[in-house]
Amino acid sequence: MSTLITPAELDAALGEVTVLDVRWRLGGPPGAEAYAAGHIPGAVFCDMDRDLAAPPGKGGRHPLPTAEAFQEAMRRLGVRGSRPVVVYDEADSMAAARAWWTLRYFGHPDVRVLDGGLRAWTEAGLPVTTEVPRVEPGDFTAVPGGMPMLDADGAATTKVLLDARAPERYRGETEPIDPVAGHIPGARCAPATGNVDATGRFLPPEELRRRFAAFGAVPGADVGAYCGSGITAAHQVLALHLAGVDAALYVGSWSEWITDPSRPVATGDE
């Protein structure tokens, strides 16, 4: 079964799956406002900052939530361990991928991403609604360890470490969010925006395989991904998964790396 789902496939499965709307953009506007303006029928809004991350701090801007906190959030959203979950965002799956990864990390066995997001849904002529569904509490039990994860030391020693941010942030030419510019020494610049086409849909697996092979990210290699705060990098891990490459996520990413001034910082191209 593919990790991706098409609008037609989701439409046929409505009522049999839990649908989470994970629309979010760094700097806003809030995803809850977009959800209120219209969403896929039956979808429940999943808040990136509240439901998929712990509060900012030493672990970065979007640290991994505790198992207890994540379990409570998912049960509140109606997630059940035996019921498939479909996640979506506006179009490019940058936010939805974090929900996919976090659910998989905490042990949910069946999570799929709507390829192309809400844009693909509406372009297919499928309906949206402003009706907020009544949610039956879920029974999901969060068990950590379902996906490989890196800490700072692991990121420093990973043989193929992909930086999913924009090239100018990788090179340290600009840093609009974090207080230090640059990248983890040895990391390769592989912007996650290159994983999707102009519509926000993922490239075909064979194209993703060619893209990642150019960085040395091939099946069996020691591969990891990071970004600013572990959101875009989850998209990278998903794209690698679609290409048949297992990769670990550095959840704290750059925003956690720079909390320790003894960690080295590289700039420019490598």
Q: Judge if 4-123 and 149-257 fold alike in CATH terms.
A: yes
Tens of pLDDT, residue by residue over 234-268, are: 999 999 999 999 999 999 999 999 999 999 999 99
Structure confidence at residue 102 (pLDDT): 98
pTM: 0.97
Please report, for the chain, the start and end positions of each structural domain, with discontinuous segments joined by +: 4-123, 149-257
Quote the distance between the C-alpha of residue 65 and its chain's center: 14
What topology is assigned to 149-257 in CATH?
Oxidized Rhodanese; domain 1 (3.40.250)
Residues 6+ away with beta carbon under 8 Å from 240:
208, 212, 217, 223, 225, 246, 247
What SS3 class is residue 233?
helix
Structure confidence at residue 1 (pLDDT): 65
Structure confidence at residue 2 (pLDDT): 86
Above 90 in pLDDT, residue 94? Answer: yes
As annotated, the active-site residues are 227
Structure confidence at residue 82 (pLDDT): 96
- Hey, which CATH number is domain 4-123, 3.40.250.10, 1.10.3720.10, 3.40.50.150, 1.10.4030.10? 3.40.250.10
Give the C-alpha separation, 24 to 175, whole Å.
20
Tens of pLDDT, residue by residue over 106-123, are: 999 999 999 999 999 999
